């Protein structure tokens, strides 16, 4: 089995990169509306978000899904 994952857009991207790019694209307020979790709405920071997302699989799945949506939208726009 090969470790290459050419069709997986999340391969090789850290959770920190995902959160940072989402914040840059949406901002904390919009991110908190898209994924309604406290670490995005109350005193948001990347370190506190990473700590929560690493311990909470459902929240991480939502963030990864939003990241994939953002990538599709960017690609569609050009």
pLDDT in tens, 22-49: 999 999 999 999 999 999 999 999 999 9
Cα(32)–Cα(26) distance, integer angstroms: 9
Cα(29)–Cα(43) distance, integer angstroms: 11
CATH code of 15-77, in short, is 1.10.720.30
What is the SS3 string spanning 26-57? HHHHHHHHHCCCHHHHCCCCHHHHHHHHHHCH
The residue extents of the domains of the chain are 15-77
| The pLDDT value given to residue 3 | 65
Predicted TM-score (pTM) of the model is: 0.87
| The pLDDT value given to residue 13 | 92
Cα(76)–Cα(52) distance, integer angstroms: 31
């Amino acid at each position: 089995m090969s470790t290459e994952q050419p069709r997986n857009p999340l391969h090789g991207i850290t959770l920190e990169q995902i959160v940072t790019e989402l914040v840059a694209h949406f901002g904390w307020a919009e991110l908190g509306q898209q994924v309604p979790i406290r670490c995005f709405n109350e005193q948001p920071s990347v370190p506190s978000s990473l700590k929560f997302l690493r311990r909470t699989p459902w929240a991480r799945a939502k963030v990864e899904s939003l990241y994939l949506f953002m990538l599709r939208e960017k690609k569609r726009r050009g």
